[in-house]
Amino acid sequence: MASTRDIRRRIKSVKNTRQITKAMELVAASKMKKAQSAALAGRPYAQLMADMLAALAPRVSETQHPLLSRREVRVRGILVVTTDKGLCGPLNANLFKLVTEIKTPAKYVAIGRKGAQFLARTKRDVLADFTVSDRAHFNEVKVPVEFMVKLFLEGTIDTVEVIYPRYKNTLVQEAVVRPVLPLSSVKDFISNLRAESGTGKFTDERDMLFEPDADAVLAALLPFYVNRYIYQLVLSAKASEQSARMVAMKTAKDNATKLLGDLTLEYNKARQAGITQEILEIAAAAFSAA
């Protein structure tokens, strides 16, 4: 049995660990709430864009825009959205598993230091890596998105796909691969926006006038769509990160509390054994003296 001094030292260490994990749990819970609010705040914008496109779709020629043109896929473009820090359970590991399942030629862009480190460690073709703060401002996400769109238009990559942790609820974050470009049609464009905003079909039957013309409006809206859609995926990833970290820290705190109880019981047993041993030694000494 360990000495009481060693057990006291372990108890102090576990108490400090529990205090740290509890603080991290509270911070993650606060950040998760903000990330969820940011994701919900973007839905009205997606709804208005979908309404405009629904009115625009019958008036445009889809074959002329480069973001709608399909070509043979030789090299996939993958945007991997991970965290900058660890202590978030299996969140990043699940994303890395999806990356390792990609066997076709691909070029990668990373958002988050964990993803950049993994891609470099596994010697994959990384074109660039970026960091995005916990607040995930639109201008921060816009930079890597425009970088990938430029590569797509130049022909360096033939697709734009996003691997990210999709937020389902506080306990469940699903690692998914989401194709973004090329769009097969404006209908897909509208369908994605509907799914993002969580709304039904467009019912406004007013006759709308688009200036200078419908094709010009479509050419301007499609880049906005790509930026906005990937931004929404990054917001979902941020909510997933904070949820996973909150759950991981709560589990660590609960385990520390349980371990603290076991150590306290062990300390009491060791202390009681020491007292009993001292009483026996005193009694034996008194008996020998008599």
The per-residue DSSP string of 185-232 comes to: -HHHHHHHHHHHHT------------SS-HHHHHHHHHHHHHHHHHHH
Which helix (H) or strand (E) segment is 168 a member of? none
Dihedral of CA atoms 17, 21, 27, 32 in degrees, nearest 10, equals 160
C-beta atoms surrounding 185 within 10 Å: 11
Which of 19-28, 172-181, 195-204, 220-229 has the lowest average pLDDT?
195-204
Are 43 and 197 spatial neighbours (Cβ–Cβ below 8 Å)? yes
pLDDT computed for residue 59 by the predictor: 67
Q: Could you give the CA distance from residue 141 to residue 109 in angstroms, rounded to a whole number?
A: 12
Higher-pLDDT residue of 230 and 267 is 230
Domain-by-domain residue ranges, the chain? 27-247
pLDDT computed for residue 271 by the predictor: 78
Asked if residue 202 has pLDDT above 70, the reply is: no
pTM: 0.79
Confidence of residue 191 (pLDDT cuts 50, 70, 90): low
Higher-pLDDT residue of 289 and 238 is 238
CATH dotted code for 27-247 = 3.40.1380.10
Tell me the pLDDT tens digit for each residue of 255-272.
Answer: 888 888 888 888 788 778
Looking at the chain, the whole-number percentage of residues with pLDDT higher than 90 is 3
Active site residues: 88
* Backbone φ, ψ for residue 187 (5° rounding): -60, -40
Task: State which amino acid sits at residue 13.
Answer: S
Asked if residue 201 has pLDDT above 80, the reply is: no
Tell me the pLDDT tens digit for each residue of 157-172.
Answer: 888 889 999 887 778 8
